[in-house]
Amino acid sequence: MIHIVGGGMVGASLATALARQGRDVQLFERQPFVDSDPGDARVSALNSATLDWLSAQGIHPNTHPFQYMHVFAQHASAELRWGEATVPLGALVVNNHLQGVALQAAERAGVQVRFGDRLSWSDGLILNDQAVESELCIAADGARSQMRQQAGLALKPRDTGQNATFLRVQVEPTRVDTAGQVFLATGPLAFLPVAQDQAVLVWSRDIQAEPLSQSPQDVADLAAAAFEHRYGAFQAIGPATQVPLFDGHAQQYHRNGLVLVGDAAHQIHPLAGQGVNLGLADAASLAEAIQRRGATRSACAQYARQRYWANEGTRQAMRALQRVFGQQSGANNALLGLGLQVFSKSKILRLASQYLASGRYIRVH
């Protein structure tokens, strides 16, 4: 029996993939699943590699595709645009909806899904105070993974010094084929189209910056102005929710029969919307290794070799982007403007960025 602790987007999708190989899988989720409001502001941008892999596992969430991406820095004189009308760059999904669809797919594939058990790790899995035998135990229990800590798989979370505010807004229907991002002196602000006339704003800001207003409409108005009204006016729907942002990476992905996936293994800044894409690429890689080598130490080693540097490379790229775009001064803005101009005129660089945005570089098959 393979045990998976954590039935979030990553754990539930991996459970489905393993059960479809004919493996016996038990999936433990702490909280009973509750369908959230479809207007939930917790959303993720999935790239095309992730969407293809989910579809191959029979996981078909409702998504909102976008064709173009648009990035600029406030006060810099150039901007980047890429994408084409016929090929979606990616698609937005409500996290809770993807989790629900993946849990249903897991049950259909024969996974035993259990809610509310007490789990811990002490040289093996402890289920409701009883040691249980596992072929392999997979920790998919998120950024604050207890399993990781109890197994001594060290991770030093780095406080990014930023938090993120989510807010769903009503927008003009013509603006919803483009995902956008503006880099402000206090951090990046993303515009993620999620429906025919709605988008989610994800505003990462320095904790030391002046706090945003408590009024969702004030936040919406400030964001529209920060985007220089390129996406028109925003009408706030629902509350503005704030979460702290962490950045960290476990130095080791597996030990003594426990292996980490998703945010339990790594957390990165959401500025390029890569977190769950990396987590699902982990799931694809581990499922493939188990298919080839069984639920063995050597499968875990193959998975760790494949994923550690891919995840670390993306994490370092996010940190570099944050440093370059975060330091806005007159001289830096001029350099940034020049860099963006070079980038936007170079066909090779534009193709490379499109390739990265699609996630094909992290594809494991």
Ligand X SMILES: Cc1cc2nc3c(=O)[nH]c(=O)nc-3n(C[C@H](O)[C@H](O)[C@H](O)COP(=O)(O)OP(=O)(O)OC[C@H]3O[C@@H](n4cnc5c(N)ncnc54)[C@H](O)[C@@H]3O)c2cc1C
Give the interface size with ligand X as a residue count (CB under 6 A): 32
Q: Which of 15, 45, 69, 281 binds ligand X (CB under 6 A)?
A: 45
Q: Which of 262, 304, 308, 311 binds ligand X (CB under 6 A)?
A: 262
Minimum CB distance to ligand X, residue 363 (Å) = 15
Minimum CB distance to ligand X, residue 332 (Å) = 25
Site for ligand X in 122-161 (CB under 6 A): 140-143, 146
Q: Output 31 or 196, the one with its CB closest to ligand X.
A: 31
Asked if 270 touches ligand X (CB under 6 A), the answer is yes
CA distance 255 to 118: 21
Cα radius of gyration rounded to whole Å, the chain:
21
Q: Provide the mask over 215-254, with x wherever binding to ligand X is found by CB under 6 A and - wherever it is not.
A: ----------------------------x-x---------
CA distance 173 to 6: 37
CA distance 89 to 38: 23
Site for ligand X in 52-111 (CB under 6 A): none
Minimum CB distance to ligand X, residue 189 (Å) = 12
Q: Which of 186, 274, 302, 311 binds ligand X (CB under 6 A)?
A: 274
Minimum CB distance to ligand X, residue 250 (Å) = 12
Q: Which of 88, 216, 248, 279 binds ligand X (CB under 6 A)?
A: 279
Q: Provide the mask over 185-204, with x wherever binding to ligand X is found by CB under 6 A and - wherever it is not.
A: -----------------x--
Minimum CB distance to ligand X, residue 350 (Å) = 22
Minimum CB distance to ligand X, residue 348 (Å) = 26
Residues at the interface with ligand X (CB under 6 A): 5-11, 28-31, 44-45, 119, 140-143, 146, 164, 202, 243, 245, 262-263, 270, 273-277, 279
